[in-house]
Structure 1
Amino acid sequence: MDEDRVAYEPVSVKDVLAEMKDTAELLIDLSYSAVLLGSDDIAEEVLDLESQMEVLHLQARMGLLMAARNPEDAESLAPVLGVVGAAEKVSDAAGDIAKVVLEDIGLPEAMRAALPEAVESVERAPVIAESAYVGRTLGDITLETETGVRVIAIRRDGEWLLNPGPETTFLAEDVALLRGPRKGLTEVYETLTGEAYVQPEPPEQATSDLERAVDSIVLMKNMSELAVDLAYGSVLFDSKPVAEEVLELEAEVDALQSRFEAWVLRAAGRADDPVDLRGLVQLARATEVISDAALEISEGVLRGIGTHPVVAAAVEESDEVIVRFTVDPESELVGRTLGDAAVKTETGMRVIAVRHTGRESRRTGREGGDWVISPGATTEIEPGDVLLAKGTRTGAGRLSDLVS
C-alpha cells in the first residue's frame, strides 16, 4: 500500500489546477468516445486518467491547506477548493461512463446511433517504430494545419503529457489521443499505427420513447460540456453574467433528466430486455453530475466572493485556453455570421458564447445584451460584440487577428 501513498510535497497549486482542468476535459471526451466506439482500450485510458486525477486532487487540497493561515485566506481559498472538488466530480463521472463499456452494463444500439453527432471524434493511436512521424515534432508535421487533427494528449512510459506543443516529438510506443474530423483522423491514425482506420457504423434509429430518452442524454451531454467551458470562463473573467448562464444550464440539465427518466420507464415496458437500459441510466446520472460540477466551479463568482488569482492563472495556462475578445468595428467579421466567416475552420476556435453589446438585455432592460450561449452558424456578429471562445493558443492568435 505504501507505494500508493501520496505524501505532501511543495507543488505549484496553479500548475496542479491547470493539469486538473486539462485532465477533466480530456476525460469527458474520452469517456463518451469509449461509449460511441464500444472501445475497452479507450475506457481503460479513462480509468488510468481517473487514477491520476485522484493524486492531483490530493496534491491540490494539501497545497491549499498549507496556504490558509487566517480567516481571510480561508475565505478567498474556499472557491478554489470548490474548483478542485468539481474537477474530481467530473473525473468520477467520466469513470462511471467508461464502466458502462468495461462492465457491459448494457446500452441500447440507439445510443450509439445518436452519439456520433454529439461527440467530436476522438481516437487512440499506438505509435509504431516504423511510423513516418516518429522522431518528428508536432510543429514540423503541422498536423492541425494539414489535417485538422489535434493531438490532445500522449501517454509515454505510463506518464501522461496533457499539453503537447509544437516542440513535442513523437516516439515509438507512444499512445497518442487524437481529435478531429473523420477524414483527417483516417490519415493520421494510419500513419501512426500502420493499420487501417475502421470507422464505426452506427445503427439506424427508430422513433420511440427510447429514442427520446437517448436524445435527452445527447442534449444533456452537450449542455454539461458547455456549462463546464462557461464555468471556467466565468472564473477566468470574474463574470457573474456568464456564471448565471451556467446556473441556467444546470437547471435545464436537471429538467432534461426528469424527462429522460419518464421516457426510460416507458421504454422499459416495451423492451425485450429492460436490463439493457441500465447503461442509459448510468450515462444520464454521470452527465448530470458533470453539470453540477460546472456550477460548483462558478459558485464563488455567483456568490460575489470573486476569483482567486491562482485559479484564473491556472485556466490561462491550461491546454485549451478560453479567450474573450471584443469585435472591432473594422473587423472583417462585422455583418457576417459565424458560418459565413467559417470562424471554426479558419481559426480552430469554438465560439461558446456571444454577447451583443448593442442590444437591450432581456433581464435588466438596459443596453449591454445577454449572452447567446452556444451560438450557431447563423449567429451574426456586430461591432462591439464580445466573443467567448475556446481552443489552442495558436487558434486564439488567429481569432484575435480576425476580430481586430
Structure 2
Amino acid sequence: MFNEDSSNELEYKPRPVKDILKEMKNLSELMIDLAYYSALYGDVTLAEEVFKLEKRIDVFQMLLSMQVALATRSKSAAEKMVSIYAIAAATNRISDAAADIARMTVKKIKIPRDFALSVYGEEDFVTALKVPKELADYTLKALFEKSGVVIDVLTVRRGAKIFLEPSISFRLKAGDTIVVRGTFSSVVKFSKLFGIDIAEREKISIEKYTPIINSLISFKRISRVCVDLAYVAVLTRSEDIAKKVQELEEYTDMLLDRVSEEILKEHELSLKERLGGLWIAIASEDIADAAAEMVEPLLKGLEPHPLITDIIGEADERISVIEADEEDHGKTLKELGYSERGLSILAVKRESEWYVLPEENFEVRNGDILIVKYSAELEPLVEQLEHEEDREEIIEEIQEEEWEEE
C-alpha cells in the first residue's frame, strides 16, 4: 500500500488489485450516504469525515494505477483491465462529487436540522461523534448496553486508519471518531454518552429550504440506484442493464434542470444558499455520470475482468442472485418479504428478459433469477436462501449467456 509521511510523500508497497478496488467501492458508496446526510442535517463534522475519505480514495487510485500497469502482460489482459480502470475512475469521481456535496455544508449552505427532519423523517439519522477519554477501552457492545440502544456504527476513524462497519467487540480509543446511524431518538440517547446533546431542536418554521431538501432526497435516491445498477451490469455482463444506467443518467440531466429552476425561483433563499443548492444538484448529477462511465467499456464490447465478480460479491454492500423455486411461483416481491429482511431487489431475469427495478407487486415465476443487494452481515441469510456455490454457478451462466448475445 501507500504510506504517507508528514511531508506528504507516498511510499509504494504492493497490494492486490482486488483488495484496493474493493476498498474503493466500499468507501465511495459510504461517502455518498455521508455526504447527503451532512447536507441534509447541516452536520459539519460528518462533512469533514467525507473529506478524509476522499483523500484516502485518491491514494488508492494512484496505487491501483501502478498495480494494474505492472500486472498487464498481454492484449487480452489489457482489454479486461479497462473495466478495472473504469470502476476505479468512477469510484474516484463519485468520491469527488460526494466531497463537493459535503463541502457545501461547510461553505455555502446549512439547512436547519429540525426542518430537514420534519421533511425527510426521523427514521434514518446519521452523525459523527468523537470518543472522549472517559469512553476509552469500551467495546461497542458495552456502549450499546450502557446507553440502552443498539445502532449502526458505519465507520471508526483512528488517525489515518478507517475501520468500516466494525463488530460489536471493537474496542474504542480516546480520540476515535465514529459515524453512527439509527432513528433520531436512538442516536440522541447514544450521543449523550459522549457528552453531546443533539436533541436541542432548532426553532424554525420557514419552508424556504423545501426545494433544496426535495432535490437532495431525489438525487440521493437516483444516484444510488445508478451506481447499484452499474455494478449489476458489470457483474452480469448485461447490455440491457448498462443501457438502463445510461437512461437513468439522462433522467438525472432533466432532473438537474428542473431542480435548478426550483432553487433559483425560491427568492427567500440567500444568494449563497441558492448557489450551494445548485452546486449540490450538479455534484449529484456527477455521481450518475460516474455510474454511466462504469458501464461504458461493457457497451463498447470489452469484457469485464473476472476479479470484478469477486469484488462485488465480497464488498460491504454486495450484489448476488437468488433463484425462485416452485414455492415462490405466483408470489409478489412484497409477499416474498425480502425487503423486510434487508434485501433490495434490483432486477429480475426471466429467461432472456430483464425486469429492472421491479415494483413490489411484480409476480415471480419458478426459475426467475432475482438480483439482490444486501449488506455483508446478511450473508448468512442469503446463504440460507441460495448456497454460495449455486450463486456462483448461476452468475457464471448469466455472464456466458449475456456475453454470447453481445
User: What is the TM-score of this pair, normalised by structure 1?
Assistant: 0.81
Query: Match for residue 384 of structure 2?
Result: 401
Structure 2 unaligned spans of 5+: 388-406
SS in 1 for 2:315: coil
Matched residues in 2 for 1:154 and 1:402: separation? Answer: 31
Query: Match for residue 299 of structure 2?
Result: 302
SS in 1 for 2:7: helix
Query: Match for residue 389 of structure 1?
Result: 372
Query: Match for residue 257 of structure 1?
Result: 256
1:119 CA displacement: 9.5
CA contact (8 A) 2:124 2:184 kept: no
Q: 1:163-242 to 2 correspondence within 5 Å?
A: 163-165=165-167, 168-191=170-193, 193-198=194-199, 206=207, 211=210, 214-242=213-241
1:78 CA displacement: 1.4
* Worse-matched range after superposition: 312-321 or 78-87: 312-321
Matched residues in 2 for 1:241 and 1:185: separation? Answer: 41
Q: Which amino acid aligns with 2:199?
A: V
SS in 1 for 2:303: coil
* Worse-matched range after superposition: 114-123 or 59-68: 114-123
C-alpha distance 67-94 of structure 1, shift in aligned 2 (>3 A): same
Structure 1 unaligned spans of 5+: 358-366
1:279 CA displacement: 0.7
C-alpha distance 239-134 of structure 1, shift in aligned 2 (>3 A): farther
Matched residues in 2 for 1:397 and 1:199: separation? Answer: 40
Matched residues in 2 for 1:160 and 1:16: separation? Answer: 14
**Is 1:80–2:77 an aligned residue pair?**
no
Matched residues in 1 for 2:143 and 2:381: separation? Answer: 19
C-alpha distance 368-189 of structure 1, shift in aligned 2 (>3 A): farther
The alignment covers a number of residue pairs equal to 380
1:160 CA displacement: 0.7
Q: 1:13-28 to 2 correspondence within 5 Å?
A: 13-28=17-32
CA contact (8 A) 1:335 1:380 kept: yes
Matched residues in 1 for 2:82 and 2:319: separation? Answer: 23
Q: Which amino acid aligns with 2:33?
A: D
Q: Which amino acid aligns with 1:156?
A: R
SS in 2 for 1:3: coil
1:253 CA displacement: 0.6
Post-superposition CA distance 1:120-144 (Å, at most 9, x none) = 422213234544x944366x9899x
Matched residues in 2 for 1:274 and 1:400: separation? Answer: 53
CA contact (8 A) 1:108 1:276 kept: no
Matched residues in 2 for 1:108 and 1:170: separation? Answer: 31
Task: Provide the alpha-carbon RMSD of the alignment.
Answer: 3.4
Using the aligned pairs only, state the percent identity.
27
1:90 CA displacement: 0.8
CA contact (8 A) 2:79 2:303 kept: no
1:80 CA displacement: 1.2
CA contact (8 A) 2:126 2:180 kept: yes
Query: Match for residue 162 of structure 1?
Result: 164
CA contact (8 A) 1:246 1:294 kept: yes
Post-superposition CA distance 1:362-390 (Å, at most 9, x none) = xxxxx6543231x5555554443433232
Query: Match for residue 63 of structure 1?
Result: 67
* Worse-matched range after superposition: 83-92 or 31-40: 31-40
Query: Match for residue 392 of structure 2?
Result: none
C-alpha distance 115-87 of structure 1, shift in aligned 2 (>3 A): farther
1:34 CA displacement: 1.1
User: What is the TM-score of this pair, normalised by structure 2?
Assistant: 0.81
CA contact (8 A) 2:144 2:150 kept: no
Q: Which amino acid aligns with 1:371?
A: Y
1:27 CA displacement: 0.9
Post-superposition CA distance 1:96-137 (Å, at most 9, x none) = 11111212x135669946873599422213234544x94436
Q: Which amino acid aligns with 2:177?
A: V
C-alpha distance 137-329 of structure 1, shift in aligned 2 (>3 A): farther
1:263 CA displacement: 2.8
SS in 2 for 1:4: coil
Q: 1:2-401 to 2 correspondence within 5 Å?
A: 3-103=7-107, 105-106=108-109, 112=116, 116=120, 120-131=124-135, 134-136=137-139, 149-165=151-167, 168-191=170-193, 193-198=194-199, 206=207, 211=210, 214-267=213-266, 270-271=267-268, 273-331=270-328, 335-338=331-334, 342-345=337-340, 347-349=341-343, 351-355=344-348, 357=350, 368-373=352-357, 375=358, 378-401=361-384
C-alpha distance 389-51 of structure 1, shift in aligned 2 (>3 A): same
CA contact (8 A) 2:42 2:112 kept: no
Post-superposition CA distance 1:24-56 (Å, at most 9, x none) = 011111111111221221111111111111111
SS in 1 for 2:162: strand
CA contact (8 A) 2:31 2:50 kept: yes
CA contact (8 A) 2:40 2:213 kept: no
SS in 2 for 1:304: coil
